[in-house]
A and B are shown apart, each in its own frame.
Chain A
Amino acid sequence: MLSAPAAAWSSWTPPEWVSSRRLRYGLIGAAALFIAAYPLLSDDRYYQNMIILSLVFAIGATGLNIITGYGGYVSLGQGAFIGLGGYTAAILSTKVGGNPFVWVPVAGVVAGLFAAALGVIAMRARGHTFVILTIVFLFLLQIVAINWRELTNGTAGLTMPLPRWSPDIANWPFYYALLGLLVVSIAMSWWIRRTKFGMGLVSIREDEDKAETVGINTPVYKILGFVASTVFVGMAGAVYGYYLSFVDPLGMFNILLSVQIILSVLLGGRGTLWGPVLGAFIVEPLNEFANNSLGGGNARLLVFGGLMALVVLFMPRGIVPAISEFLERRRTRGRAGLVGERLGAPIELKEREVPTAPAAVSGQTLLEVKNVAKRFGGLRAVDSCGFAVPEGSITALIGPNGSGKTTLFNLIDGTMPLDSGEVWFDGRRIDRQRPWNRAHAGVGRTFQITRLFKEMTVLENVVAPIREFRLRQLNADAVSGPEAERAEELLEFVGMLKYRDVPASALSYGQQKLVELAQVLMLDPKLILLDEPAGGINPTLIERMGDMIRELNSRGKTFLIVEHNMPFVLGLCDPVRVLGRGKLMAQGTPEEVQRDPRVLDAYLGDDFAVEPQVVEA
């Protein structure tokens, strides 16, 4: 039984304004105003100091959020960039003299350069190498700061020139410099999340392999993302150094700075714009509390460590997403979920003029696979296989299960390296190119089991692909403007426009197939590889899929289609290539292939069922 207040609480439905944007921006505005006005309102140095430190951590956390929250790569060395900035300012101001207005930006550049160098080493590999190298990097810098005495004065540290302004406003310049840096950091984070670059970073977090196939040059994205994560942090570190007027290796390269930054991102909500800032303003007061009331040192470790473990285990998405989810749940309670309601509606299939005549097959070869082989241990998945796809055709690639069709797709789009042989596309040899280069050359590919970026909306999924690698493309607005309009056109074409703001994970399988097609079309590819476009979807949708393929073909797109639905594929495609045991077994028109005894044998006969597979060691 619930007590009366508890019952009232559990049945409480927040009014509309609670989750409205106006409230959110009102709260943020009020907090910003308070922080901006605080030094004018109060002379309390203790709280000014606490806010200054919170600002430093908020800048660190907003930066870290770009590579960790958007890109999905955790860095345990974010604090090192505060140290780098502090040391840059300290060394330059003590050795060269000069003005903070010069050295603070220089510190940002130095931090960015170090991040670029570390990124070049760590970001070419996938997975855990990066997080490990960030720790190693932090300790390496600390050791250098301790040992390179001529430059850093060792463990004794460097004392920086004291400010010359009036003591009445002693903290103001630091305070407002950091506030300004935080505003710029948040603006950058906001802008990145809106651009094609930001979409690319998030898609790397969601599925790095898939991201490569839609043209995203993942190492460059990750390195740029890492640099963006650190530049303002380096500048904040420099201001922090001037504020302390003293830097030493143990303070500046203390791993607890990193801990506090990570905890801020994690607690506030990684991947959100305001979460890291909120987190920083929670964690720093907590830090002060642990230091002053719990005895510092070990208590601080227990608080930070314990909190980090608890957040990971029980609130992995952080405060901001947790609150918005809670409000969303309350608001939609008793009704069908907002998402479910909308998804229940049948897809409107627009009547389209279906061209009767297929595009003229130019007779030129667009894709040629020459003598390609791929082995998995002793199994020859693809073995001296060769065929051509004529430009302007809808070519089918059929064959029994396990005949190597999908593996061939993986070799053509570069998801897997081939062992031997050549792949030629549009007159160029592409088999040594990385997947994103092949995508830029004009190869688009869908997957048998759809691979959308699950936490991104439908529109974001479609707008993420990159047609060519240019900075202007990266910086292009993805949420509005020409890129978004084009994505909407494509969604309209596949009949999914009304789902543009739904997360991809909420779509049915068939709907995902349609969105994935739109996503590939965003690349404007010359050749589209479709892996079982008709698999697992209903007959109406199959028909619709066929119509779309014909229409795209009439506009000049060439298709290579793997499919098991024979009426569908034989009605749609010409020519047909038949694979068997990784080799080209037969090819020709649909009629020729249907009459071919070897094909009939492979599909209907006992050849594959009974004869044991010869597996070589």
Chain B
Amino acid sequence: MTEFVQTLILGLLVGGVYALLASGLTLIFGVMNVINIAHGAFLILAAFITYSIWRAIGLDPLAGILITTPVMFVFGWVVYNLTLRRIRTGPAAATVLLTFGLALVVEGLMGIIWGNTAHAVTAPYFNESFHIGSLFLPKAQVYGGVLALVVLAVLWIVLTQSWLGRAIRAAAVNPQGAALVGVNVSAVSAATFAVGVASAGAGGSIASVLYTFLPGSHYVWISRLLGIIVLGGMGSLPGALIGALTLGIAETMTVTYISPSWATAVPYALVFVVLLVRPYGILGTRLREDVVT
């Protein structure tokens, strides 16, 4: 029983980190109808930046999000304006291929800068655990998971309370209508992309403490994150949270009760099973495509 509770809590903490990382992906999809395949590469880039800062000045990696978030925001804004902006209204297949190309370029650049070896950021509390009753909870997992949920909450508040958030949601629901009431949809798209990439920045810093990473890790991450947003229902932020927590728990349960080596496979299998029953994901409904009147 203790083992089960511990596994469940760990799963929720892992799921919190996944949720933060998936939120940016689902936000960009919801507003721009773009699947950002480079999202995984961006988060690994943030992890490497965190690593370099930590090595250089010894900054706590979790405090590193104060740097990676704005840096990745600017990076996202620049990437959007240099590339995606040109084909924003083009066919969806084009944006998938473009961001896939970007992912490969970022992977190659990271390989050149940091090398293709596994890196890890070891914070001072790396090997410590909280003991609550008979539960052992690694401090890094607890800090990381809680911080991810806090950042996610901030993102949620920004989206629901600020003018930018309302503009983003308006542009997502009805771009023409948003443009009519004075929302610059193109600028909002740039901001959305930047916010999405910034959240990958924050998530990347957190992930750098919890996982070892190398440039090629981004494939595992992007397929996991895509699995999450398909599972939850594409474009839905609550869906991403549900999908992430489901996947986090499924992974930790697999590690505990089946075998660590299968841990990455079972969640993928879960995605297939869920889609067999619900083709549009847990919270997803078929998007109402505007039937021409």
Contacts and interface: CB of A to CB of B under 8 A. Distances in A.
Interface of A: 68, 72-74, 76, 120-122, 124-129, 131-133, 135-136, 138-140, 143-144, 146-147, 209, 255, 259, 262, 266, 297-302, 304-310, 312-313, 316, 406-407, 410, 415-416, 447-449, 451
Given A122-B275, A135-B223, A449-B292, A298 B29 contact: no
Nearest to B108: A301
Nearest to A304: B104
Nearest to B222: A135
B204 interface: no
Nearest to A301: B108
Interface residues of B, number: 55
B275 A133 contact: yes
Given A76-B37, A259-B100, A302-B104, 20 more contacts: A73-B93, A74-B96, A125-B280, A127-B287, A131-B35, A132-B230, A135-B219, A135-B222, A136-B272, A139-B219, A146-B261, A255-B219, A302-B108, A302-B109, A305-B106, A306-B101, A306-B104, A308-B100, A415-B291, A447-B292
A7 to B, nearest CB: 31
- In this complex, the member of B97, B109, B272 whose beta carbon has the largest number of chain A beta carbons within 10 angstroms is B97
Contacts of A124: 279
Interface stretch (B47-55, B82-90, B143-151): B82-90
A302 B272 contact: no
Given A297-B111, A316-B90, A147 B98 contact: no
Given A121-B276, A415-B291, A259 B29 contact: no
A141 B102 CA distance: 24
B75 interface: no
Given A312-B98, A410-B291, A68 B93 contact: yes
Interface of B: 29, 35, 37, 83, 86-87, 90-94, 96-98, 100-109, 111-112, 116, 215, 219-220, 222-223, 226-227, 229-230, 234, 261-262, 264-265, 268-269, 271-272, 275-276, 279-280, 286-287, 289, 291-293
Contacts of A138: 223
Nearest to B99: A309
Contacts of B227: 132, 136
A269 B105 CA distance: 22
A508 B66 CA distance: 57
A259 B104 contact: yes
A307 B279 CA distance: 34
Given A132-B230, A139-B268, A308 B101 contact: yes
A133 B230 contact: yes
Contacts of B104: 259, 301-302, 304-306, 308
A449 B290 CA distance: 13
A122 B215 CA distance: 29
A74 B219 contact: no
Contacts of A209: 289, 291
28 contacts: A74-B97, A76-B100, A125-B275, A127-B287, A128-B29, A128-B234, A129-B280, A132-B226, A133-B271, A135-B222, A135-B226, A136-B226, A136-B227, A136-B271, A139-B219, A139-B220, A143-B262, A266-B97, A305-B101, A305-B104, A305-B107, A306-B101, A308-B100, A308-B101, A308-B104, A316-B87, A415-B291, A448-B292
A76 B93 CA distance: 11
A147 B262 contact: yes
B293 A143 contact: no
Given A124-B279, A144-B265, A313 B87 contact: yes
Given A136-B227, A136-B271, A301-B104, A312 B264 contact: no
Contacts of A127: 92, 234, 287
Contacts of B92: 127-128
B96 A301 contact: no
Nearest to B272: A121
A406 B220 CA distance: 46
A191 B276 CA distance: 32
B243 to A, nearest CB: 12
